[in-house]
Amino acid sequence: MTKRARIVAGNWKMNMTYPQGRDLTLQIVNSLQPSETVVVLCPPFIHLQNTYTAITGISNLHLGGQNCHEAEKGAFTGEVSVDMLASCGCKFVILGHSERREYFGESDTLLAQKIDRVLEANLTPIFCCGEPLAIREENTQDAYVAEQIKNSLFHLSADQLKKIVIAYEPIWAIGTGKTASPEQAQEMHHYLRSLIAKQYSDELAQSIPILYGGSVKPANALELFSQPDVDGGLVGGASLKAEDFMSIINSSNKALDA
C-alpha cells in the first residue's frame, strides 16, 4: 500500500491575541520533536508572519492559512489572497470548513474556484467536507459528502488531485464535545477513498491523506489515528493548548509506529 503523509493541523479559528499566539507558538516549537508527522499551524492572519519566523528551520512544522479569496487580487476589502498567504510562508490553506460554508455561504462551486487558485500558487489545500446532524440521523451522509467531493474536486486532473489533503469533519461533532466513533470515522474515510478510486484510480485514492476533524482531543486521538484510512487530524479547540496539541501529535507518532 502507498505510504501516505501523516498530518496534524491546528485550526486556531478566531482565537488568540497577538501575544497569546506568540506564546502558544513558542511552546509548540520548544516541545516538538522531529518525526514523520507533519504539523501545520493555521492561526488567524495577524499571526502568520510571527508564526513563520518562529517555526523556520523546523522540518516537520509548517504554516497554513484558514481561508483565502478566489481572486488573485483586487478590491475585496477584508479578504486575503493566496499570494499574500504564500508571501508569509504558508504551505497549506484550509478550504471549505463547515463554518465558512454555514456562516459565509460558501458553495461547492466557489470552493472549486478556491481550490484552483491555491493549486496555481503551489500551496496545498486542506479541503473540508462533512455532514450536519440531520443528514447523519437520516443515514444519508455518504451521498451528502459525495456531492461536496464531486462538485469541488472532481474537475481536477489526477496530477492536481494528488496535491490535495481532505479533512472529513462531521458538523455535528465540531466544537460540541461529540466525536464520531473510530468506526464511523473509518467508514467515511474508506468511502471517500472509494469515490476517488472510482473516478480516478485506486493508486491515487490510496495516496491522498484524509484527516479526521471534530472534537479531536488527547483522550480519543490515538484510537482515531489508528484506523487504517485515518491519516491524522484537523484539530480545533485542542490546538489552542500546547500540552493538548502535543499530546495529539504524539498520538499520531504512536499510530505510525504501531
Q: Answer whether 207's CB lies under 8 Å from 2's CB.
A: yes
Q: Does 97 participate in catalysis according to the annotation?
A: yes
Q: What angle do CA 103, 107, 109 make, to 5 degrees?
A: 160
- Helix (H), strand (E) at residue 235: strand 232-235
Cell numbers for 30, please give them: 520548544
Helix (H) or strand (E) holding 223: helix 218-225
Separation of alpha carbons 6 and 226, rounded Å: 11
Buried b (16+ CB within 10 A) or exposed e, 49-65: ebbbebbeeeebbbbbb
Catalytic residue list contains 189: no
How many Cβ atoms sit within 10 Å of the Cβ of residue 240? Answer: 18
Nearest to 36 by CA among 257, 258, 208: 257
Residues pairing with 39 in the sheet: 8, 61
- Identify the active-site residue in 99, 106, 131, 169: 169
Set 97, 99, 106, 189: catalytic member: 97
Dist CA 191 CA 241 (whole Å): 32
Closest CA to 79 of 109, 50, 110: 110
Q: How far apart are CA 252 and CA 246, in angstroms?
A: 10
* CA pair distance 231, 166, nearest whole angstrom: 10
Which residues does residue 40 pair with via DSSP β-bridges, in sequence order? 9, 62
Residues designated catalytic: 97, 169
